Amino acid sequence: MSYNKLVRDKIPEIIKNNNETPITRILNDEEYKVELEKKLYEEYQEVIASSGKERLEELADMLEVMIALANTQNATLEDIINIADKKRNKRGGFKEKIFLESVK
């Protein structure tokens, strides 16, 4: 079976433990960034399609991809959280469920 997608680091080992042979290669930095972006979209779709505890699992997967994308910018999860905090302090969050219909 052909997958042609970025996978978590331990997936090849898991495949080997199932008596199968993974065919892999290491991506260069540009390929890695592109594949992370594809993976982020894949995880987004899975979040939207899920609910309950499964949704939390999918959000965790999405967060893992976001952490890897931040690392490509020489940043960390803490850096993202700090930026989010600053934006929340300046513009608010989404807690109040405000839906802007129009501006006159």
| pLDDT tens digits for range 10-56 | 999 999 999 999 999 999 999 999 999 999 999 999 999 999 999 99
Answer yes or no: is 10 within a domain: no
Answer yes or no: is 15 within a domain: no
Q: Which residues of 13-43 are buried (b: 16+ CB within 10 A; e: fewer)?
A: eeeeeeeeeeeeeeeeeeebeebbeebbeeb
Answer yes or no: is 92 within a domain: no
For the entire predicted model, the pTM comes to 0.89
- For residue range 62-87, list pLDDT tens digits in order: 999 999 999 999 999 999 999 999 99
Domain, as residue range, for 48? 27-77
Q: Which residues contact 27 (CB under 8 A, 6 or more apart)?
A: 6, 35
Answer yes or no: is 39 within a domain: yes
Burial status of residue 49 (CB atoms within 10 A of its CB: 0-12, 13-18, 19 or more): exposed
Domains contained in the chain, number: 1
Answer yes or no: is 11 within a domain: no
CA distance 81 to 39: 21
